[in-house]
A = this chain, B = another copy of it.
């Protein structure tokens, strides 16, 4: 059997309310319990510039118009800085990078959801990121109706009660397009992707993912 190198860059992808943030925190604990050094990060964000751009990209209350292409390029600017400041240095130091969203989100949301074209966005991502791309990706698949309901519930518990960001506030058809894009992207790269039914209860989702991590890191569960 071919031996696979343990991953050093892991991303978690999926629509709104799929449970990415919760899962990433669980992953961090699991990997640390195996003695691994972990850098947990997210997109857009991860650097000072990225966090500033995040505010613009997700805060729908700003009066500034952002077209689809400008949005795409701002996500990529945040990513380029994120790679330079955080991801590449962490990988070079032998750390495991755990990232909440990466290129696949851009391909699904901007390429398909916004209609800029899957190949166009994929090529752009590739020309910006080069080799710095995830070697293991978890896709949390959930019906957008369920995911958005969760997001709404979480938002209500937050300070910004009931307020959705620019992406969450899109029509349900947009989120359905994005979901089907994720499904296609994941199918096309079965070696990198692990797809999970994220409508299941969280302990089940975590259990499935932990098995994959155990297998990929060669740690008996």
Contact = CB atoms under 8 A, between A and B. Distances in A.
Interface of A: 47-49, 52, 56, 63-67, 69-74, 76-78, 80-81, 84-85, 120, 123-124, 127-128
Contact of A80 (B56, B73, B127, B128): B73
A70 B73 CA distance: 9
Contacts of A47: 65
A49 to B, nearest CB: 5
Given A124-B127, A127-B124, A73 B77 contact: yes
Contacts of A56: 52
Interface of A is mostly: helix
Contacts of A84: 67, 69-70
A65 B81 contact: yes
Contact of A85 (B65, B71, B72, B78): B65
Contacts of A73: 73-74, 76-77, 80, 128
